């Protein structure tokens, strides 16, 4: 779940301004971003029209009905924006809408930042073509960075445009579709320029809490049990990531040579993979998170997890402090958003009990 700036007139003007101030690489990047987003916007059809269309595949219709109800729930129960977002549908004919690239130094978990005119700096770079993402990743690897790429099923334009329900959002289990709508609408409600960790952890928390409440309303015990199992596996996965990230941080602070550090780093990632296989062998869905471990493990992969999950305990504590009241919760989050990044991060770490992924 990423954030993108993006209909054509506004973005073409933005591209012109950027092109006059920057180099060809910037021009090429924003060119693909504009073309990709315009393609998505052009594919939109009114959601109800697609639902009522007799040629719509039954499974697609059912999920679009679910998406419509989830959007209403988000406004009614979660206090999220009531606007044009998720009132249309776009069939993209591919599995992901964009592919993100995350990069970190070889011995650090601080992700490389890319800065944009409307969103501020982000801990990832997004591309509408997988080949472009791979090319960017190879350039960064050649420069010595740890790099990871991953497909993204949805993104937010932060209220600049009415975001559609995308075909890429329909593939996973039903709670995911509701959750991703809650997640992306949270970005439209509260967003801090240049603070990916705050924005994504906040949206992930609202997604999690909102999905829990939505499942209660659905009164589907089987669905709730399956979702509970997924959450339990996710928590075990996050604890595994946290444990190894702490061990790697200690290694990176140690006085050993770079050659020895590189060797120890490789051994730690191998041990992490082994621990995952032992852990997942006891799961009812042993393949969960397998893709995370199938590819090369490195700092960038672990950093991408921290961006979305590091401050969930902090937001959970904040939510408890206001008695689970969403309007009051958003007020507290908005106050944090007005602080300097240094002060905001200090407060978030204190709320989280000083723990960091």
The reply to whether 23 and 138 lie within a common domain is: yes
Structure confidence by residue, pLDDT tens digits, 122-169? 899 999 999 999 999 999 999 999 999 999 999 999 988 999 999 999
Task: Check if the beta carbon of residue 310 is closer than 8 Å to that of residue 357.
Answer: yes
Q: How confident is the model at residue 172 (pLDDT cuts 50, 70, 90)?
A: confident
Give the pLDDT of residue 113: 93
The reply to whether 35 and 164 lie within a common domain is: yes
The reply to whether 243 and 297 lie within a common domain is: yes
| Alpha-carbon span 61 to 49, nearest angstrom | 10
Give the range of the structural domain holding residue 23, as residue numbers without chain letter.
2-191
In a domain, 105, yes or no: yes
Task: Check if the beta carbon of residue 185 is closer than 8 Å to that of residue 3.
Answer: no
The reply to whether 150 and 105 lie within a common domain is: yes
Structure confidence by residue, pLDDT tens digits, 6-40? 334 444 444 444 443 444 567 788 889 989 999 99
What residues contact 271, with CB distance under 8 A and at least 6 apart? 244
In a domain, 316, yes or no: yes
Structure confidence by residue, pLDDT tens digits, 216-250? 998 788 888 888 899 999 999 999 999 999 999 99
pLDDT at position 274 over 50:
yes
The reply to whether 171 and 278 lie within a common domain is: no
Give the pLDDT of residue 354: 53
In a domain, 83, yes or no: yes
Q: How confident is the model at residue 209 (pLDDT cuts 50, 70, 90)?
A: very high
The reply to whether 182 and 228 lie within a common domain is: no
The reply to whether 277 and 329 lie within a common domain is: yes
| Alpha-carbon span 5 to 161, nearest angstrom | 9
* Nearest alpha-carbon partner for 314 in 357, 347, 338: 347
pLDDT at position 213 over 50:
yes
Question: What sections of 219-257 are H helices per DSSP?
Answer: 221-253
More confident residue, 285 or 51: 51
- Give the residue from 144, 170, 191 where a domain finishes: 191
Give the pLDDT of residue 147: 97
- Collapse the DSSP code of 323 into the 3-class scheme (helix H, G, I; strand E, B; otherwise coil) and give the result: coil
Count of domains in the chain?
2
Mean pLDDT computed over every residue of the chain:
90
In a domain, 214, yes or no: no
The reply to whether 29 and 95 lie within a common domain is: yes
Q: Directed axis angle between helix 312-321 and helix 326-337, to 10°?
A: 120
The reply to whether 313 and 229 lie within a common domain is: yes
What is the dihedral sign for C-alpha 199, 98, 240, 108?
Answer: negative
The reply to whether 183 and 144 lie within a common domain is: yes
- Give the residue from 191, 209, 243 where a domain finishes: 191
- Give the residue from 191, 210, 242 where a domain finishes: 191
In a domain, 201, yes or no: no
In a domain, 216, yes or no: no
The reply to whether 252 and 142 lie within a common domain is: no
Tokens encoding 264: 């120890």
For the residues 194-211, what does the mean pLDDT come to?
Answer: 95
The reply to whether 184 and 267 lie within a common domain is: no
Give the pLDDT of residue 357: 47
In a domain, 200, yes or no: no
Q: How would you classify the pairing of strands 88-90 and 98-104? A: unpaired
| Alpha-carbon span 146 to 297, nearest angstrom | 9
Residue 90 phi, psi dihedral angles, 5° rounding: -130, 120
Which residues partner with 100 through β-bridges?
126, 150
In a domain, 210, yes or no: no
Burial class (CB within 10 angstroms; exposed 0-12, middle 13-18, buried 19+) of 161: buried
């Amino acid at each position: 779940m990423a954030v993108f700036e993006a209909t054509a007139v506004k973005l073409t003007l933005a591209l012109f301004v950027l092109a006059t101030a920057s180099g060809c690489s910037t021009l090429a990047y924003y060119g693909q971003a504009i073309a990709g987003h315009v393609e998505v916007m052009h594919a939109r059809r009114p959601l109800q029209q697609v639902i009522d269309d007799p040629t719509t595949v039954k499974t697609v219709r059912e999920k679009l009905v679910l998406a419509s109800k989830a959007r209403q729930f988000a406004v009614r129960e979660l206090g999220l924006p009531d606007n044009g977002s998720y009132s249309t549908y776009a069939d993209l004919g591919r599995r992901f809408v964009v592919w993100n690239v995350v990069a970190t130094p070889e011995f650090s978990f601080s992700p490389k930042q890319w800065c944009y005119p409307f969103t501020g700096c982000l801990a990832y770079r997004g591309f509408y073509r997988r080949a472009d993402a791979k090319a960017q990743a190879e350039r960064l690897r050649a420069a010595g960075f740890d790099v990871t790429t991953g497909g993204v099923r949805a993104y937010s334009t932060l209220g600049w445009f009415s975001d559609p329900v995308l075909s890429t959002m329909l593939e996973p289990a039903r709670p995911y579709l509701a959750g991703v709508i809650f997640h992306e609408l949270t970005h439209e409600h509260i967003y801090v320029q240049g603070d990916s960790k705050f924005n994504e952890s906040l949206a992930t928390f609202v997604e999690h809490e909102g999905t829990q409440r939505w499942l209660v309303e659905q009164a589907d015990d089987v669905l709730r049990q399956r979702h509970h199992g997924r959450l339990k596996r996710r928590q075990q996965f996050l604890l595994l990531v946290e444990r190894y990230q702490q061990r790697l941080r200690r290694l990176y602070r140690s006085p050993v040579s770079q050659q020895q550090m590189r060797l120890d780093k490789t051994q730690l990632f191998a041990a992490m993979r082994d621990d995952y296989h032992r852990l997942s062998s006891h799961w009812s869905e042993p393949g969960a998170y397998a893709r995370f471990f199938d590819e090369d493990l490195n700092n960038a992969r672990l950093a991408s997890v921290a961006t979305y999950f590091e401050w969930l305990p902090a937001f959970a504590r904040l939510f408890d402090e206001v008695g689970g009241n969403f309007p009051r919760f958003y007020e507290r989050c908005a106050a944090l958003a007005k602080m300097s990044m240094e002060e905001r991060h200090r407060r978030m770490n204190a709320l989280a009990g000083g723990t960091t992924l």
